[in-house]
Amino acid sequence: MTPESTPVEIDIPAKLQALLRDVGPRWAASGSVAENVALMCREFAPVLARAPKQGVTVVPDIAYGAHPRQRLDLFAPDRSDSATKSQGLPVVVFVHGGAFVDGDKNKNDEIYANVLHYFARNGFVGINLEYRLAPEFAYPSGTEDVALAMDWVRARVAEHGGDASRVFLIGHSSGAAHAASYAYDPAFQPTEGNGLRGLVVLSGRVRADFDPANPNIRKVQAYYGTDASLLEQRSALSKVAADSVPTFIGFAEFENPLIDVHSLELASRIAKATGKSPRLAYLRGHNHTSLIAHINTSEDHLGREIRAFIDDILENEATRA
């Protein structure tokens, strides 16, 4: 079971809360998504700069492959209790978004490190993953990089206090597409399986499509190619099966166009394949970017829900053992 959350003193300021209310309803207005993403990252950065980071050691830019973008940052909680130091901690691996052609594990000095600081503070070894981008590296390069990083986790995370048998993969936006493709598609996994205990899909573009409603259609084509006949088989949600890894799905009230639709389609496919609904979280008042940017503030609904999802899996496995 993961530890209870350490109290967080940093609230989302009233001015930023007002901005969320103002921007949300017009988040997806024509041509506004990229501008709004940048606005959220800019406004959350000074808030997250004051958020708690104590008790966490960060090892940046560890190579998991030969390409300069095949790097990860590792976040490990300081552990002074000799009774628990010998026990490996559960691991979360976070895959950022960026519409397949953009993004960085450090969007700025605070985002996306806030996600891993939060999990490290709550008893996990956290990994913030960088990967190659389109158009230079097209499908399935993102999924291949997740697979390569998972190889590194299996081989090396124990050196940093992590338990390679308790790994949870978290992806946001296009990063969720790469994460889910790895988690669901055996073609990208080693013969022994994906090595995951759970998958968290946050605002995931888990369906590849050329729908005109998607403002990032050209970026989708840069990664998946322009042959529409290949889109279904290349979509992460098309690989869901009865034995797919347990999945948590979260999305915001104000999303990039079609993200909420894709999230619910993924939930429906999982329910049909397994006979049971996956765990879901709908973040009222949040948008595609604040869904991630608010993590490690005093608003802890999403963080608690993800940790409860993980706890349930680990407790059920312990009971079966």
Strands 162-172, 198-202: parallel, antiparallel or unpaired by DSSP? Answer: parallel
Q: Which CATH number do you get for residue 226?
A: 3.40.50.1820
Domain presence at residue 51: yes
Instruction: Look at residue 87 in the predicted model and tell me its pLDDT.
Output: 82
Tokens of 226: 């322009």
> Are 249 and 266 a contacting pair, CB within 8 Å?
yes
DSSP 229-280: GGHHHHSGGGG--TTPPPEEEEEEEE-STTHHHHHHHHHHHHHHHHSSPPEE
* Whole-number Å distance between alpha carbons of 200 and 90: 14
Enter the pTM of the model. 0.95
In this predicted model, what pLDDT tens digit does every residue of 11-43 receive, in sequence order?
999 999 999 999 999 999 878 999 999 999 999
Please report which confidence band the pLDDT of residue 238 belongs to, taking 50, 70 and 90 as the band edges: very high
* Total count of domains within the chain: 1
Domain presence at residue 3: no
H or E stretch covering 172: strand 162-172
In this predicted model, what pLDDT tens digit does every residue of 271-301 receive, in sequence order?
999 999 999 999 999 999 999 999 999 999 9
Domain presence at residue 264: yes
Domain presence at residue 5: no
Instruction: Look at residue 85 in the predicted model and tell me its pLDDT.
Output: 58
**How long, in residues, is the chain?**
321
List of residues 6+ apart from 184 with CB closer than 8 A: 236, 237, 239, 240, 241, 244, 245
Angle made by CA atoms 172, 300, 115, in degrees to the nearest 5: 40
Please report which confidence band the pLDDT of residue 165 belongs to, taking 50, 70 and 90 as the band edges: very high
| Full residue range of the structural domain in which residue 112 is found | 14-320
